[in-house]
Homo-oligomer: A and B are copies of this chain.
Amino acid sequence: MKKTIDYIRANRERFVEELFGVLRIPSISAESRHKDDMVRCAQWLAESLLKAGADMAEVMPTEGNPVVYAQKIVDPAKPTVLVYGHYDVMPVDPVDLWHTAPFEPVIKEGRIWGRGANDDKGQSFMHVKAFEAMTATGELPCNVKFMIEGEEEIGSEHLGTWCSEHKEMLAADVILVSDTSLLAWDTPSITCGLRGLCYMEVEVTGPDKDLHSGLYGGAVANPANVLARLIASLVDENGHITIPHFYDRVRELTPAERKDFNKAPFSLERYKDALSIGEVEGEAGYTTMERTGVRPSLDVNGIWGGYTGEGTKTVIPSKACAKISMRLVPDQSFEEIARLFTAHFEAIAPPSVKVNVKTLHGGEPYVSPTDLPAYRAAAQAIEDTFGKTPLPFYSGGSIPIISTFEKVLGLKSILMGFGLDRDAIHSPNESYGLENFYRGIETIAWFYKYFAQLR
């Protein structure tokens, strides 16, 4: 491995420069005006995979954004790792909160700043570069396949179908993913659990046009007030979600599991300070770690209605809307929860309004056991580069496609991500530490080595 590690260290600066190339492409999957940028971004990645030493790399169409597929088969008898990542990024609003332009990456304070610096262009690109290093030095000990998609941030709608259409091509022993965070730089971790997601949009319509709030106020249901009422009623004063049967399939931890789960170092004071909040808030009877790791949640991700400009407008809006998403835990199922939510929301709407509920996207929760060879390979790799055994971690986040991979391809995924909370993914001023980027590349290389041995 000496050659590989030397190669990585000798080429670090170039790797970052190359990463900037892909960070400059505004591949926001949620906004249809970026359709061309998605294709441009996929082509960029395919070319960089070819240059990195892939036998072939292709931009493969789906009904949505294309998937970048590449592979290098060193020996069909050897194990195969399928790397998954995504080249699409989150929207950048509110854009005026960014200190630097989101798609003009810069290095400042030892960090790469820009949308996608971490999630997931930065993390995906570490894989391209680890692969390049091992290929260039002749030290690649197994076969590698890459599958980098462009719809992760909008629910990976077309990737499941694409996978089932290309099962043979995608045959592998494990999927390796870097799209998660470490508990802390000095507390490395491997993500073993992911929450599922059920993302809904609701529209409440009252009168068929905006009304003057003086002439009608008090006599006509105001959709914005009604929406507030309906949303408020979805979570009770104990932080419990009130949708009937919502908790039916939630797996409760045993006391022993809860004890284990709360072992990871956590300071509530530091947590509150980092977010500048006076108090946390969540489901009664659970710790903060449990609330995000193993309990479901319900959040308004966006709400709008009426006059939101400068000054005043005395209007009763005709409509008010909200995007509401729920995080799910084993064994909740996204489609069932979408049905329960829809039925409940329609049931609680008063006769003074009409409601329209849409399911925008979703994915199932996921758990991966810690006794898999690939988990042990990842743990060993992290121990080598961080000097510490990683903790298994149950993340509150969702990568909806991971459970689909298991269902469609029959493969478990190892979630070995190198982000940190401070990276502000999905927020203005996303960044990624240069150290994370460099150490991630080395850790991935070690993973290949151990995985090829252990298996």
Interface residues of A, Cβ cutoff 8 Å to B: 29-32, 90-91, 93-94, 97, 153-155, 181, 195, 197, 199, 206-222, 224-225, 227-229, 231-233, 235, 239, 275-283, 288, 291-292, 295-317, 320-323, 325, 327, 350-354, 360-361, 395-398, 421, 424-429
Contact = CB atoms under 8 A, between A and B. Distances in A.
Contact of A220 (B210, B219, B275, B360): B275
Given A235-B225, A302-B307, A308-B303, A398 B428 contact: no
A279 B426 contact: no
Contacts of A279: 221, 350-352
Given A197-B214, A316-B301, A231 B225 contact: yes
Contacts of A219: 280-282, 288, 291-292, 297, 396
B306 A302 contact: yes
10 contacts: A93-B307, A209-B427, A212-B425, A215-B397, A215-B421, A219-B281, A220-B282, A225-B298, A302-B315, A308-B323
Contacts of A220: 275, 277, 280-282
B397 A212 contact: yes
Nearest to A221: B281
Contacts of A310: 30-32
Given A225-B300, A229-B232, A320-B303, A292 B218 contact: yes
B297 A217 contact: yes
A183 B354 CA distance: 28
B275 A352 contact: no
Given A91-B313, A320-B303, A427 B280 contact: no
Contact of A302 (B29, B313, B323, B429): B313
A16 B199 CA distance: 52
A213 B301 contact: yes
Given A232-B232, A303-B305, A218 B311 contact: no
Given A207-B276, A218-B396, A281-B350, A325 B312 contact: yes
Contacts of A282: 218-220
B218 A360 contact: no
B280 A314 contact: no
Contacts of A277: 206-208, 220-221, 352-353
Sorted from nearest, which 7 A-B pairs have the closest CB atoms?
Answer: A218-B297, A214-B397, A30-B311, A224-B300, A232-B232, A302-B306, A221-B281
Given A208-B275, A218-B327, A275-B211, A361 B301 contact: no
Contacts of A97: 209
Nearest to A241: B218
Nearest to A287: B219
Contacts of A360: 311-312
Interface-central residue, A197, A211, A214, A310, by most chain B CB under 10 Å: A214
A150 to B, nearest CB: 13
Given A276-B207, A277-B207, A280-B219, A195 B214 contact: yes
Given A296-B218, A311-B360, A312-B361, A276 B30 contact: no
